[in-house]
Each structure stands twice: as C-alpha cells, then as structure tokens.
Amino acid sequence: MTEILKVTGLSKVYSGKVTTRALTDIQLTIHKGEFVGVMGPSGSGKTTLLNMVSTIDTPSSGDVLINGHNPHLLKKKDLAAFRRRELGFVFQDFNLLDTLTVAENIVLPLTLDRQKLSDIEQKLAQVAERLGITDILNKRTYEISGGQRQRAAIARAIIPGPSLLLADEPTGALDSNSSRIVMETLEKLNQTDAATMMLVTHDPQAASYCHRVVFIKDGVLSGEIHRGESRQAFFQKIIEMLSFLGGNAHELSSIRV
Ligand code: ADP
Ligand code: MG
C-alpha cells in the first residue's frame, strides 16, 4: 500500500520565555485512501501536528514524508508549488474570499497555477457536481449557508487533485445538520475518489466518519481505534476513549448526536 503520509520520531518544542514541549516522538503513517481522525484534549498538540504536516511550521526533530518527499527540505519557491499540488486544506472558518464568487474561490488554486481556462472550467463543473453546489457557483460567499461555504472550501481544496487533504476542525463553526452534510461529503469523496484525508477534530460525531482515529494527549500519541461496521458503535468507542484519556468537560459538552 502506498504511504501518503509518514511521520517518524516527530517532536516539537516551542522555545521562548517559557519552553513548551508540544509533541514528543510521534509516529504516524497514513496509506492511500485512508480517512484518519486526530483527536485529543485542547492543548494536546493536534494543531501543532497538522502544522508540521502542512509545513506551516518546522519540526524540532523527526521527519515528515508526503508521497515519499520531505517538504521541509524544499526551497521556499518549490515548497509553495509542492503545497499547492500535494496538499489540500480545509479550515474551521472556511477561509473563502468574500469579494469573489463561489466559482472564483474554488478555481483559485488552478488560476494561481496558470492552468488553461478550458481545463479550469471542466474541473470546476466536475467538482461542483460532486459536492452538490452547482446551483450556487455564481453566488457570493455571504449569500450562502455555512454548510455550503464549507463544501465550497472543500471543492477548492480538492480541485488540484492533492495527495492528502488536511482538515482542522472543519465542522467547528457549523450546526449539527450542516456538520452531518459536510462529513457525509468528505466520506463520499473518500469512498468514490479514494481521497486520503487527515481530520483534526474534537467533535466525536465528526470523527465517527473516519476509518481510524488516533488520540494525542500531552503531545504523545496515546492509542488508536478502528471503525468496524457501524458508525454509531464507533461513536460510542470514541466517547469512551475520550473520557478514558480525560478530555475536559468543556469539549465533551459540544457533542452533537
Ligand atoms: P491543540 O490543537 O490540540 O489544542 P496545540 O497544538 O495548539 O494544541 O498546542 C499544543 C501545545 O503547544 C499547547 O501547550 C500550546 O500552548 C503550545 N503552543 C502551540 N502553538 C504555540 C506557539 N506558536 N508558541 C508557543 N507555544 C505554542
Ligand atoms: Mg488546535
């Protein structure tokens, strides 16, 4: 099986007035077509891990390989191109530009890559159809719902055909119905396109769509569980694991069933 992401011996120490050891000796491999969730209490190192993988920040030690390449060794200019082609990003706050239409937002990475207009139009039509947003392509981002915005953001993330889709709390700003639609959309992309995804979330309902969930506590990987047949049973297992690891009450209070 192809290893899309291979993280070995990854540690991160933030030094400043106080020194924070945010990650310690993380090992994580994600194979092609896997849908992996990363969970853990607030401050456990989830975003730090995602930032090392997405090359937003650099590790103190250890390696990150994406499709066999270490992006942290690339020069700035090559890194920008690598990120645009290999990685897709989905954020909690959508990160869409409200001066552009939905369509213009979605094709932005292709425009930046100077692709041919006819190719861009064809890819746009395909991806919009897949995400069920064809009828809102000409709207502005403030004219559509949160769930539609997140589906537009997912369309923008996948349109270049990245090897790995990274999502940090993609349902964090959505109501339960929109969250469900967004997670079903990601699940469908994973099933039909074998899209490889890493989802950071503190929402057990969202995590229950993954194949596998790994848990971080105090910067250390502290276990993983796999989904069987039933998503509902997986949801229960996730809740049990979180309470075992001692996630704080505030985070568990945001559970949506
Ligand atoms: P999570 O996403 O799981 O809530 P983070 O990865 O954001 O956790 O944070 C992990 C730890 O690293 C926390 O103790 C946090 O305070 C610290 N941290 C995160 N980013 C920085 C930074 N830029 N500088 C210093 N400390 C940081
Ligand atoms: Mg975080």
Report yes or no on 23 lying in a domain: yes
Atom of ligand 1 nearest to the CA of 48: 6
Q: Which residues line ligand 1 (CB under 6 A)?
A: 14, 20, 22, 40, 42-48
Quick one: how far is CA 195 from the chain centroid? Answer: 11
Q: Determine which residue's CA is closest to atom 1 belonging to ligand 1.
A: 43
Report yes or no on 102 lying in a domain: no
Mean pLDDT of 170-180: 94
> Distances from the Cα of 72 to the Cαs of 12, 53, 81, in angstroms?
14, 9, 13
**Distance, CA 43 to ligand 1 centroid (Å)?**
6
Contact 172, 203 (CB under 8 A): yes
Closest CA to 3 of 221, 226, 163: 163
Report yes or no on 14 lying in a domain: yes
Instruction: Domain of residue 37: give its range.
Output: 3-96+146-251
Mean pLDDT of 232-255: 76
**Distance, CA 25 to ligand 2 centroid (Å)?**
19
Whole-angstrom Cα distance, residue 203 to residue 180?
11
Q: Give me the pLDDT at residue 138, please.
A: 98
Q: Give me the pLDDT at residue 251, please.
A: 52
Sheet holding 220-226, edge to edge: 87-91, 164-168, 197-200, 35-39, 212-217, 220-226
Q: What is the pTM of this model?
A: 0.91
Report yes or no on 111 lying in a domain: no
pLDDT of 255 > 60? The answer is no
Whole-angstrom Cα distance, residue 88 to residue 162?
6
Report yes or no on 109 lying in a domain: no
3-state DSSP assignment of residue 98: coil
**Distance, CA 92 to ligand 2 centroid (Å)?**
10
Please state the φ and ψ torsions of residue 72, each to the nearest 5 degrees: -70, -10
Atom of ligand 1 nearest to the CA of 219: 10
Task: Report pLDDT digits (tens) over 25-38.
Answer: 999 999 999 999 99
Q: What is the chain's mean pLDDT, rounded?
A: 93
Task: Report pLDDT digits (tens) over 56-93.
Answer: 999 999 999 999 999 999 999 899 889 988 999 999 99
Q: Determine which residue's CA is closest to atom 15 belonging to ligand 1.
A: 43
Q: 212: pLDDT confidence band, cut at 50, 70 and 90?
A: very high
Q: What angle do CA 226, 249, 176 make, to 5 degrees?
A: 65
Task: Report pLDDT digits (tens) over 102-142.
Answer: 999 999 999 988 999 999 999 999 999 999 999 999 999 99
First to last CA, the chain: 34
The H-assigned helical ranges of the chain are: 46-53, 76-86, 102-112, 117-131, 146-158, 176-193, 204-207, 231-245, 249-252
Mean pLDDT of 246-254: 53
**Paired tokens of 45:** 């190192």
Whole-angstrom Cα distance, residue 199 to residue 214?
10
Report yes or no on 68 lying in a domain: yes
Report yes or no on 141 lying in a domain: no
**Paired tokens of 93:** 């706050």
Quick one: how far is CA 92 from the chain centroid? Answer: 10
Q: What's the number of domains the chain is made of?
A: 1
Q: 20: pLDDT confidence band, cut at 50, 70 and 90?
A: very high
- Here the CATH number for the domain that contains residue 75 is 3.40.50.300
Report yes or no on 129 lying in a domain: no
Q: Give me the pLDDT at residue 250, please.
A: 47
Q: 248: pLDDT confidence band, cut at 50, 70 and 90?
A: low
